[in-house]
Chains A and B, each alone.
Chain A
């Protein structure tokens, strides 16, 4: 059997796109239509007024990645596309976790965990605590695993966004 080593390598693609209706649909549609394996897309405004930045996490080998970048570049509303080098890229995600708190003991334990992960408690109710945490997706996973035993009622994640370290811009 031939094993393609980097078949499922995860890529972080950063794209500057025109900030107008339909652009997300164009990009998402491209991925579905061409059968690219997409894990996540985030969109938000960028440093330029009329441009938005999309961060796309996709899986595939080098050839697939090359096709993704080229096909994205073909979209008229896409201005720039860059595959970010994971070694010099910071990747961050925001996550909100609503945890069930049956006892006072649980409550203080959860608050402790949140503190260790530099999370914040942003909402409290008699039976729940809501934690806000930002960080790498791995860090978020770790906190989720820890508080799972208490009973997670709801999770909302933004999906990762990313930027290159240092001077580099796209």
Chain B
């Protein structure tokens, strides 16, 4: 068998059905095998989209997403997508072509040091120097990418290795003596945590992307109900708990819900699960949860104590540890785990500051757009976002009810992620509707892949929130740089409807209240790729916590649902006896 065949065979042995890629000189042998293999290959129109699509595929399905790019520029074009997957712990395998082994180091045509470049943005990377390494390498790559803390793996594949003949042998058991992720939490730590939680008066759970990665949503809900703890999430944790559940407070952080930010400040016990305490989630670390003892559950030991000092660390898988906690706490006396007074207090406060969504303004307010979008789609719809205001509006206002249904680039904040990720998600989950909510700036960075969704008939709905601005950057300029709007105006080009139509993709413009709902319905019904150009108010600002400030220092008007006169003040529990 040839090396190239071994790649395809090994991928298929891992259950891979679809790969996203773009060919080139050094990949000719591999693509020659792909030509009549059963492995489906989607030809994207830019390698970055192959990587984001593989990432979206992985996030939507939990399976490893695979992308392929040629040596040199193909590999460097994959980089943004690999780094995006790395920051958000997404299991992606990126296969990069490489010049023949004899040429490596000679600055050969389209040679780049892919191994060196990707070292800091991958969980691990491999260079195949001989064809017989391939089967074991692919097995190891899948294992590494999808166990422990998930992450991307790169395989650098020289041209001659793809052509080399060898005796194919099924990969023996893989040997990774330096890789043994801890899955089970230490029982003593679990007991300590349980005790701390039961001794607390005001517990709050912070759920991160780890809940979704370890498929622990049910356990999260059970546990939070058991201890009456409200649940807030990081951006990556969005959807880990149904956000219309009483216990859910919505996202925490720089653009988080007011409730979450204020409650975290008041809680006396913070139980963080699968969350890495990024600065966008915590705000100023000295202010963060300053009244709380902290339990930190994470599968990656290096996350413990990295940003936040922790009282009880538990290293291991979120699902396993939540089950352990449920067991231990479940046996305790009711009065020990009862925090219902606290919970009621939190819910009462939450009800006073639910964000207002309905607006009949023209141009459309993003809140109204998101409200209509929510009404038009069902709970199983996978929503991806791009980066910028569009993303934070979605994170803030959109109610996500299921894990793996809200997909967004968190750690790297990659503009251009939303659309190709939606494409990958749709390939992974063909029975779910998929909607990408993008900014006009971000979408334009990847719009060439309209050709891909058209040619392969991948029916995703793309909503471009069209404010003709690099909205998020201009928001910062407005708030913190004296309204000096330096290079954030995108002007009038392009016409997104015509742009889509030139690719043969149906498109429509939405400008008035009510139209979004109708158009999304129609787009989904059409069962073909569809672009909606949503003209929104460029001046709407999402309240935010300035970088470096504590989470309670929210600037910008927080428009709430209930018509409460004056500012909404939070009174810590026990201090409201004097009456309002």
Taking Cβ atoms with an 8 Å cutoff, the residues of A that contact B are: 17-18, 22, 25-26, 29-30, 33, 63, 66-67, 70-71, 73-79
Contacts and interface: CB of A to CB of B under 8 A. Distances in A.
B487 interface: no
Given A76-B124, A76-B178, A76-B179, A71 B116 contact: no
B25 interface: no
B301 interface: yes
Contacts of B123: 76
Nearest to B300: A74
Contacts of B116: 25
26 contacts: A17-B178, A18-B177, A18-B178, A22-B119, A25-B116, A25-B119, A26-B119, A29-B119, A30-B120, A63-B305, A66-B305, A67-B302, A67-B305, A70-B302, A73-B302, A74-B300, A74-B302, A75-B178, A76-B123, A76-B124, A76-B176, A76-B179, A77-B178, A78-B178, A79-B177, A79-B178
A26 B115 CA distance: 10
A143 to B, nearest CB: 39
Interface string B292-318: 000000001110111000000000000
A26 to B, nearest CB: 6
B236 interface: no
A13 to B, nearest CB: 15
A71 B302 contact: yes
B115 A22 contact: yes
B301 A70 contact: yes
A25 B177 CA distance: 19
Given A33-B120, A73-B301, A76-B123, 4 more contacts: A22-B127, A25-B116, A70-B304, A76-B178
A29 B120 contact: yes
B369 interface: no
Give the dominant DSSP class at A's interface.
Answer: helix
Contacts of A66: 305
A26 B124 CA distance: 10
Q: How large is the interface on B (under 10, 10 to 19, 20 to 34, 35 or more residues)?
A: 10 to 19
A97 B248 CA distance: 69
B308 to A, nearest CB: 12
Interface of B: 115-116, 119-120, 123-124, 127, 144, 176-179, 300-302, 304-306
Contacts of A74: 300, 302
Contacts of A79: 177-178
Nearest to A77: B178
Contacts of A26: 119
Output the residue of B178, B300, B301 with the most chain A CB within 10 A. B178
A66 B301 CA distance: 10
B306 A67 contact: yes
A75 B304 CA distance: 17
Contacts of A30: 120
A73 B182 CA distance: 12
Contacts of B305: 63, 66-67
Contacts of B301: 70, 73
A156 B479 CA distance: 57
Contacts of A17: 178
A79 B178 CA distance: 4
Contacts of B302: 67, 70-71, 73-74
Nearest to A66: B305
A76 B152 CA distance: 13
Nearest to A72: B302
Nearest to B303: A70
Contacts of A73: 301-302
Contacts of B306: 67
A96 to B, nearest CB: 30
10 residue pairs, one from A and one from B, having the closest CB atoms: A70-B302, A76-B124, A79-B178, A76-B179, A33-B120, A70-B301, A78-B178, A71-B302, A76-B178, A29-B119
Nearest to B153: A76
Contacts of A18: 177-178
A82 to B, nearest CB: 14
B153 to A, nearest CB: 9
